[in-house]
Chains A and B, each alone.
Chain A
Amino acid sequence: MRFKLFVVLLFALNPLISVSRADVREYHLTIAESEFIINGRARDAMTINGTVPGPVLRFTLGDEAVIHVHNTLRESTSLHWHGLLVPNDQDGVPLLTTPPIESGTTFTYRFPIKQTGTYWYHSHSGLQEQSGIYGAIVIDEPAEAGVTPIRDEVLLLSDWTDENPKEVMRALMTGNEWYAIRKKNYPSIVGAIEAGAFGEYLSSQWLRMAPMDISDIAYDAFLINGQSRIAIAGVAGERVRLRIINGSSATYFFVQSATGNLEIVSADGMPVTPLSQSRVLIGIAETYDAIVTIPADGSWEFRATSQDGSGHASAFIGAGDEHLAPEVPKASLYGMDGMLQSGMESHGAMTMDHETPRPAPPYRYLQSPHSTAFADVAPRREVTLRLTGDMERYLWSINNLTVTQESTIPVQKGEVLRMTLVNDTMMHHPMHLHGHFFRVVGEQGDQSPLKHTIDVPPMGRRVIEFEANESGDWFFHCHILYHMDMGMSRVVTYAPSGHVPALEPNLENTPVLMVDAMFLSNMTQGEAVVMVGREDFGVAWSTGYDIGSSNNSGMNSDMHSDMNNDYQVDAFWSHYISPNLSTTAGLRMTNQLEEFASGFAGIEYRLPLMVDLSLEIGSEGNGTIGLGKNFAITDRVTLLTSFFYDTYSLWDWQVGLDYRLDKAWSLTAMYSNEHGFGAGMTFRY
C-alpha cells in the first residue's frame, strides 16, 4: 500500500505527466556495421549513429518517447530499454515482446516516460550488445523555475573485444584456457607457491574445485563512453553528478574517484538516501548516480577497474596536474575467502568492512527515501530459484534447467512474488527483471531499495520481491551476455498455464567444433570434436609416422620392441554428466588388437587432485585403464602425464612439457614409451 502511495505521490507531484502536457521526444537511431576508432585504432563494430556507445537519449518525465530504429545490419536487431517501465510490446525482446527489426527495415518504439533517473538501452539480439549496440538514457524531472540542476555527466562503462563475439562464445564453450592465461589468472603450482598459498592450491585440487576465475573473457579494452581514457570539464569546488552505467557484456567494475568519496544518490534510476562510499562494485547492467566534488584545480581520475583486475578505464575530470585514483588490489587466485566475500556477506556475515579494498555491492547500505513495502493485503507467494551452471562445459541454467527446457515463471496479477535467488556457481550473476522494479529484501525493512538488476555473488543468495502489476511476458535473466545466451533465463509470464512464450533460439545447443591436435617429430595425437550441449561426437587419433613398418597386428607386448608402429583411431560419442563424470562409446580402428575394428565403451572419472581416470571395455574382450594428470607448473608451462594399461598392449605412458604461446598454439615436447621422444606443436581450435 505504501509503495502504491509512493507511486501515486510521484505522479501527483509531477503534473507534467498528464497526457495533455506530454511532449514528444523523437530520436532516429541507425544501427550499422562499421569501423569505429577505439583508443586510436579502427575496430570492426556495430554502431548506433556511427558511434560506440550510441547517443545519450535524454527525456523529461512525462515525455512521450518516439524512437525510430533503422537497421542496416545484415541480420535482425532489437533495442531494449533497460530499467524503463514501458508497455510490454515496446520492451524490445525479439519475438517475446516485440517483433525483431529485420535487416533493412525500420521499427518505431513509442512509449510514455513514467520515471526519472539513469538507465540504458541495448540490443537484445544474439551477441550484438558485445559489438557495441548500447547507449545511455537520462530522464530528468521537469525544470523548476529558478532552480539550476547540478551538472551531470554520463559515464557508460563497457568491455571491448577485438574478437568476433561468436568466436568468444565458441572459445568459452570449448573450454579454451587462453583467456585466463592471458589475464594471468590461471592458477599454477609456481603461482601458488609465490602467493604463499600452495596448501590452498592442493586443497582445491583435492576437493576437485574448478579453477577460480572472476570473469570468463580476456578483453582488449575497457571503456568509458567508448574510450579507455576520456576527459570531462570541471573546476575546483564544482559538484558533478556522475551517471554511472555498467553497459558491459561480462565485466563487473570497481569504481572510484580521486576526488574523494562517491556520494551515491540513486541506484538503478531510483533515489536512495545519500550514501558515501570510497569504492563501489557495480554489477553488469546496474546504474548508480554519484556526486563528486572537485577539490582543487587539476585533473582528477574517475577509474573503473575490471573486477578481475585485467584493466581499467578512466575519466579525468578537470584540467591540469593529474591526480590518480587508487589501485584496486587483485583478488587472490588461490584463497577462497576473497572470492567468496560477497557471497558470505549475502548470508549476513559481518566479516566485511564498510570500506574493504574489494567491496561487495553496497546493497545492504542502500535505503530508499520512501517506504517501498507492499500492501499487507496483497497475496504473497515465494519461489526459490537456484542459479546453476558449469564453467567447464559452459552450461548455464536456473534450477538446472535452461530456458529451453523450462521457460516460464508464472505470476498472478496482483500478487507479490518473492524470489530467493541461490547461486550454486562460482561466478557472479547479475539478474535482471524486465518491466518491474523489485525490492531488495534486507536490512532496510520498509525502506528496502528498488532495483531492476541485482548481483547474486558466488555461493551467495539474494531475496527480492515485486508486485505483479503488469501483463504479458517479461524476460528475467543473467545479464552476463554469454550466460543468458546459454540458457540462464526465464520468462515471467502473466499468461494462463500452458502458455509457451516465443523466444529467439539461444546458443545452448549450437554445435561447436573443438580441435586439440599435437604434431610432434615422432608422432601425432589429438581429437576433433563436435560439441552439442552435453554430447560430444568426435574422432581421436594417435599414431607414429612409419605405420607401414608394422608387422605385428594383433599381438601383444612384443610389439613394443618396434617403436612408431602402433596407431589408433577412435570415432566416439561421449556424454557429459558432470565435471567429474562422463561416459563414452565408439568404434576403434587399430593395429594393436586382433581385429582391425572393434567397439568400446567406458567412463571417464575425475579423481581427487584432478587426476583423470578412464575405464574402458572393448568388444575384443580387452580392457583399458588410464590415468592422466596435467600439472600447471606456471600459467603457460604444463607438465603432461598419462599412463594406460591395456590387457592386450600392456603399459603405455607419456610424459611431456607444453608451453602455451597463444590461444591456438603451444610448443610441446614429449616422451612416449611407444613412440620415443619427439617435439613439435600443439594446435587448439
Chain B
Amino acid sequence: MQHTLTRALIILSLGSGLFACETVKPTPTANTASVKKYPLDICIVTDNALGSMGDAIYMNYEGQEVAFCCKPCIKMFNDEPQKYLVKLPSASQ
C-alpha cells in the first residue's frame, strides 16, 4: 500500500510538472483578476507563432497580458509598446 502511494505520488508530481511547464507564464505583477488575456497565438512583436522558438514568454503590460516568441522581443516591445499593442483586436474596436 505504501509502495502504491509512493508510486502514485511520484507519477502525480511529475505529471503535474509536465502540464505546468507547457508555457512559461510569469505571474502578472498586480491585480491578476483584471488582467486581460492575450488573444493571439502569435508573438505581439514579430508575428511568429508562439512556441516556435522554445516556450512562449508572457508578460503583464498595464493590465493586458502580452506574449512573446523569445526574449529579445521583450526589449523591442518595451521600447515602443504602442506600436505593437495595436495588433490586439481590442485596439481596433
Contact = CB atoms under 8 A, between A and B. Distances in A.
A608 to B, nearest CB: 5
B72 A207 contact: no
B53 A459 contact: yes
Residue from the set B21, B54, B69 with the largest chain A CB neighbour count within 10 Å: B54
B66 interface: no
A83 interface: no
Given A608-B21, A623-B11, A459 B48 contact: yes
B7 A647 contact: yes
Contact of B48 (A336, A422, A625): A422
A208 B53 CA distance: 8
Contact of B72 (A337, A388, A608): A337
B24 interface: yes
A285 B57 CA distance: 35
Contacts of B55: 207-208, 608
B48 A423 contact: yes
B21 A607 contact: yes
Interface string B45-60: 1111100111101000
Contact of B7 (A347, A627, A645): A645
B69 A607 contact: no
A207 B46 CA distance: 18
B18 A459 contact: no
Contacts of B47: 422, 461
Contacts, number: 68
Given A459-B48, A459-B70, A209 B14 contact: no
B76 A347 contact: yes
B71 A203 contact: yes
Contacts of A460: 46
Contacts of A608: 21, 24, 55
Identify which of B14, B15, B43 gathers the most chain A CB atoms within 10 Å of its CB.
Answer: B14
A204 B70 CA distance: 10
Nearest to A426: B53
A628 to B, nearest CB: 13
A607 B24 CA distance: 12
Given A208-B55, A422-B48, A344 B76 contact: yes
Q: Which of A203, A422, A615 has the most B CB atoms < 10 Å from its CB?
A: A422
Interface string A184-199: 0000000000000000
Nearest to A390: B52
A42 interface: no
B52 A336 contact: no
B88 interface: no
A613 interface: yes
Interface string A427-462: 000000000000000000000000000000001110
Contacts of A347: 45-46, 76
B76 to A, nearest CB: 6
A336 B70 contact: yes
A424 B42 CA distance: 10
Contacts of B21: 607-608
B86 interface: no
B40 interface: no
B24 to A, nearest CB: 6
Contacts of A204: 54
A613 B76 contact: no
Nearest to B83: A348
Interface residues of A, number: 34
A386 B49 contact: yes
A30 interface: no
B46 A459 contact: yes
Interface string B62-93: 00000001111000100000000000000000
A204 to B, nearest CB: 7
Nearest to A350: B79
A210 B10 CA distance: 28
B26 interface: no
Interface string B2-27: 00000100110011011001001000
Nearest to B7: A647
A605 B21 CA distance: 11
Nearest to A607: B21
A425 interface: yes
B91 to A, nearest CB: 18
Contact of B10 (A206, A340, A343, A645): A645
B72 A424 contact: no
A422 B48 CA distance: 7
B14 to A, nearest CB: 6
Contact of B14 (A207, A210, A625): A625
B20 to A, nearest CB: 9
Nearest to A384: B47
A559 B69 CA distance: 49
Nearest to A646: B7
A9 interface: no
Contacts of A426: 53
A206 B46 CA distance: 22
Interface in A472-509: none
Contacts of B43: 459
A340 B73 CA distance: 10
A147 interface: no
A143 interface: no
Contacts of B52: 388, 424-425, 459
A208 B23 CA distance: 10
Given A344-B76, A647-B7, A207 B48 contact: no
A519 to B, nearest CB: 31
Given A207-B55, A347-B76, A607-B21, A340 B70 contact: yes
A605 B18 contact: yes
Contacts of A423: 48
A605 B76 CA distance: 32
B29 to A, nearest CB: 20
A145 interface: no
Contacts of B11: 615, 623, 625
Contacts of A623: 7, 11
A424 B48 contact: yes
Nearest to B43: A459
A233 interface: no
Nearest to A341: B72
A349 interface: yes
Nearest to B47: A422
A209 B53 CA distance: 6
- Return the 8 tightest CB-CB contacts between A and B, nearest first: A209-B54, A207-B54, A424-B52, A207-B55, A424-B49, A608-B21, A424-B48, A208-B54
22 contacts: A206-B24, A207-B24, A207-B54, A207-B55, A210-B54, A343-B46, A347-B46, A386-B49, A422-B46, A424-B48, A424-B49, A425-B52, A459-B53, A461-B46, A608-B21, A608-B55, A615-B15, A623-B7, A623-B11, A625-B14, A627-B14, A645-B7
Given A340-B70, A349-B76, 15 more contacts: A207-B54, A207-B55, A207-B57, A337-B72, A343-B46, A344-B72, A386-B49, A422-B46, A425-B52, A459-B46, A459-B53, A460-B46, A608-B55, A613-B18, A647-B7
